[in-house]
Amino acid sequence: MMNTTRRLMLAAGAAALALPALMGAPAQAITPAEIKARGKIIVGIQGDNPPWGFVTSAGKQDGLDADIAALFAKELGVQVEFVPLEVNNRIPALTTGRVDVLFATMAMLPERAKAVQFSKPYVANTIVLVGAKKDTIKTNADMGSLTIGVAKGSAQDTQVTKNAPSSATIRRYDGDAPSIQALVSGQVQAVGGNVFYLQRIEQARPGEFENKLAFQNLYNGACTRLGEKELNAALNSFIDKIKANGELKTIYDKWMKVPVHTFPDSLEGIPFTAG
């Protein structure tokens, strides 16, 4: 009979071998031609972050990212299938092949560019701190006594963590909607958000909150897997096209209600073109 020690060693070895399969192996690259042959593109998008990406009461995926993704599908001549994702599972859904591309409020950050390939930017965003009008929050130091909610793994998580004093309490939630709910229900005193958070908070508690601090101006890009040169090139050509023909302006007018931003030609540490 096998002794206990050997059985435990073999079990541990089997578990170690199984771990990569459980985590999900990197997906194979996909090309526009393969997407066209399939007849649809599978898009990762946020499902609870209006107006970027959200699901309507009728079950339809809608929002700025949804409109742009639908235009890209039209450009390829295929149908679009949306997969709503939480903030912290966007990149894993892409790298493991669950989706083909991300139009998912993906702020273009150097650390993310090590894991995914960004396109050229197609929209701009600002990371802010939202708090009660009655509270004095004018500097980073003023956050020291606060309990602050953030969506786990988001750009606002990064910025609040970076800028808040160590005495602040940071609570991390699984997505934008739970962090907003934490604020309106009084679980936290402030929340790290984006330029549209205040609109959503106003619907629940009008007139009580305001943007307090602006941490970072960001650009959002579409994401593909590293090394997918053809799909990245197709996205960049598409983004150039909708900037030039006015379709991006139409989407901005509908959702952003501000003029189309001037986009940079480059961002340090973030290549727009697959190498």
Tens digit of pLDDT for each residue in 217-257? 999 999 999 999 999 999 999 999 999 999 999 999 999 98
Residue 22, in any domain of the structure: no
- Same domain for 63 and 108? yes
Q: Which domain holds residue 166?
A: 126-217
pLDDT computed for residue 26 by the predictor: 60
CB neighbours of 273 closer than 8 A, spacing ≥ 6? Answer: 232, 233, 236
What 3-state DSSP class applies to 27?
Answer: coil
Q: Which amino acid is at 267?
A: L
Has residue 23 got a pLDDT over 60?
no
The tokens for 85 are 């994702």
CB neighbours of 71 closer than 8 A, spacing ≥ 6? Answer: 238, 242, 247
Residue 62, in any domain of the structure: yes
* Number of domains comprising the chain: 2
Q: Give tens-digit pLDDT for 111-168.
A: 999 999 999 999 999 999 999 999 999 999 999 999 999 999 999 999 999 999 999 9
Residue 158, in any domain of the structure: yes
Residue 13, in any domain of the structure: no
Mean pLDDT over 24-44 rounds to 88
Which of these, 211, 210, 217, 212, lies nearest to 261 by C-alpha position? 217
What pTM was computed for the model? 0.82
- Same domain for 146 and 224? no
- Same domain for 169 and 135? yes
**8 A C-beta contact, residue 118 and residue 270:** yes
**8 A C-beta contact, residue 220 and residue 122:** yes
Half-sphere exposure of 229 (CA within 13 A, CB side): 1
CB atoms within 10 A of CB 95: 18
Helix axis angle for 229-245 and 64-76, nearest 10°, is 110
pLDDT computed for residue 25 by the predictor: 54
- Same domain for 69 and 104? yes
- Same domain for 248 and 203? no
Residue 120, in any domain of the structure: yes
User: For the chain, what is the mean pLDDT?
Assistant: 91
Q: Which residue has the tokens 């003023």?
A: 142
Is beta strand 40-46 parallel, antiparallel or unpaired with respect to 79-85?
A: parallel
Which of these, 157, 182, 183, 167, lies nearest to 88 by C-alpha position? 157
Residue 87, in any domain of the structure: yes
